[in-house]
Amino acid sequence: MIKMRKILGTALCALLLISAPAPAFAAAVPTSDGERPALRGIDVSQWQGDIDFNKVAAAGVEVVYIQSGAGSDYTDANFQANDTKAREAGLKIGFYHYVTAQTAGEAAAQAEFFYSLIRDKTADCRPAVDFEQFGDLSREEINQIASVFSARLEQLIGYAPAFYSDAYNAENIWDARLSRYPLWIADYSATRPESSGPWDTWSGFQYSDTGAIPGISGDVDLDYFRGSIFVDGLLPPDVSGGSGNNSGDGNSGGQGTKTFRYTVQRGDTLWDIAVRYGTTVAELVSLNHIENPRLIYPGQILLVPTRGDSGTGQSGSGAGNGNAGGSNSPEDQTPAFVTVRSGDTLWAIARRYGTTVNALVSLNHIKTPSLIYPGQVLLLPKGTAPGGNLSGSTHYRRYLIRSGDTLSAIARRFGITVKTLAQLNHISDPDLIYAGRTLIIPD
């Protein structure tokens, strides 16, 4: 990612390069857990200078992650040029942002700045969070800042971003709060990542920071990317003669599979849904007879296989009583978060959302229950209605505000009042909403 070149090492590096060529792409491409090979990729910033992306593409690179900026006000000098040229060369594109936040409030602001840089761009890959310089922060503070940034970015883009980390931090720093975000891991010592910490697997693998690629002067990071790094959760069609949509492990639903019905929300992908409910893209494709796994739409009803011993069988219309034991109830269709406001206490939040202080403490790894602060993002227990004072049996959908929307127009569209929308989403000024924000709307 961002590299601080050391002048003292230049002479030594020059001598070493005489006898040791810079790494290019490895001969054996890691496979996606039984799927077809991962795609070759690079990640770039202004440090790579002027890039000839046509030569890069001709060298076999298929994916490029481009730095957008850093912190809350810095834009990479080559951001726009790299985006334009890479797109013209036919490469798959993603963006990453270097996080410098030292507080939760700064994290939220930096996520919003990142979004402002990329919201008008077309990305193939999930925006990536790059937080690797921690200063004197404690482990809890580091995880809280990363969680706030990631959650705020997810609210803005409508789906889970990717999370970049080196292998050491994945093992020793990050906790389970971050594991819901697809992992892009850096490990330069192995042909496959040695450790993924709280993550079960990886979506991106940066295996060298001294790569040599035609079209780029000097070193560049080399990567492999799996289908889960893409916004739609799938690798691009295999033009080398592969089988196209066969992207899973062959586990079909089977006639005896117990299922429940899930309503696709705006921003959902099959990969997101599969991860959320512990299944696979291939199983969802087979169970729902989906011809094009890239094409699902808001309002579409999918059958999702149950996991564990919830024993609910098929849940019919999905409107059920909402008290099933596992993660199959309609209230669990989207992760629920709450942003701590001035004057909040865990006890007040627990009462507001119909849960307990102990549940919030356990779920969010809070060491001191009496110490929470404005801007902190808390995960709510599954099955919790994100509307606070609304009935726990109410079902919710997400709505992504578009350019030209007003709160009154959205309220009319869904048959509710502006006051309800404002209270539900903690909007202090109903006349001030912005494109890209995700609203919670009761069905």
Residues involved in catalysis: 43, 132
For 9, residues 6+ apart whose C-beta sits below 8 A from its C-beta are none
Compute and round to an integer the Cα radius of gyration of the chain. 23
- In terms of Cβ atoms closer than 10 Å to its own Cβ (0-12, 13-18, 19+), residue 209 is middle
Contact 67, 96 (CB under 8 A): yes
Q: How far from 274 is each of 81, 268, 269, 311, CA to CA, in Å?
A: 36, 10, 9, 19
Cα–Cα dist 220/206, whole Å: 11
Phi, psi of 41, deg, nearest 5: -150, 170
Which residues make beta-bridge pairs with 230?
125
The answer to whether residues 41 and 204 touch, using CB atoms and an 8 Å cutoff, is yes
Give Cβ neighbours of residue 106 (< 8 Å, ≥ 6 apart): 72, 100, 145
Helix 104-118 / helix 139-157 crossing angle, nearest 10 deg: 30
What tokens appear for 358 in the block? 């102990």
Q: Are 224 and 205 in contact (CB under 8 A)?
A: yes
Using alpha carbons, select from 282, 278, 255 the residue that is nearest to residue 326.
278
Look at strands 39-44 and 220-225 and give their pairing: antiparallel
On the 0-12 / 13-18 / 19+ scale of CB atoms within 10 A, 71 is: middle
- Give strand ranges (E) for 314-374: 337-339
Question: What's the token pair of residue 302?
Answer: 């999918």
Coil/strand/helix, residue 220:
strand
